[in-house]
């Protein structure tokens, strides 16, 4: 499993515990919205985290070690990589901008 993915999950878990939030599927999806997009995956991860009995006394590194010794890495490996393909077909004649997507002024 990618060490960066494990680090991101443990960091998010640490931040949630530090702020007093519960480790539910919804809070995980909100915190990790770029990585966890499916409800079932968030529920499986939150279930595994609940089994670990994590609290705000643990350091980020201790949380990472605990998470790494569970079934969570296998769940994370099953998450397909996010792909974003945007195809824009347009014609433009005259003056002015020809912006196909988000314009930052």
Per-residue pLDDT of the chain (105 residues; tens, 9 = 90+): 467 778 888 888 888 888 888 888 888 888 787 777 788 888 898 899 889 888 888 898 999 999 988 888 888 888 776 666 677 777 767 777 666 666 665
Q: Return the number of other C-beta atoms located less than 10 Å from residue 68's C-beta.
A: 15
Long-range contacts of 65-69 (CB under 8 A, 24+ apart): 67/6, 67/9, 67/10, 67/13, 68/6
38 vs 16: CA distance, rounded Å: 19
91 vs 43: CA distance, rounded Å: 45
27 vs 33: CA distance, rounded Å: 10
Cβ-contact 2, 56 below 8 angstroms: no
The pTM is what?
0.62
């Amino acid at each position: 499993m990618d060490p960066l993915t494990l680090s991101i999950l443990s960091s998010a878990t640490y931040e949630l515990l530090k702020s007093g939030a519960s480790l539910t599927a919804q809070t995980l999806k909100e915190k990790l919205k770029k990585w966890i997009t499916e409800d079932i995956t968030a529920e499986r991860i939150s279930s595994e985290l609940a089994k670990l009995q994590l609290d705000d006394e643990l350091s980020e590194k201790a949380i990472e070690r605990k998470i790494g010794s569970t079934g969570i890495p296998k769940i994370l490996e099953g998450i397909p990589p996010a792909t974003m393909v945007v195809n824009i077909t347009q014609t433009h004649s005259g003056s002015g901008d020809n912006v196909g997507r988000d314009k930052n002024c």
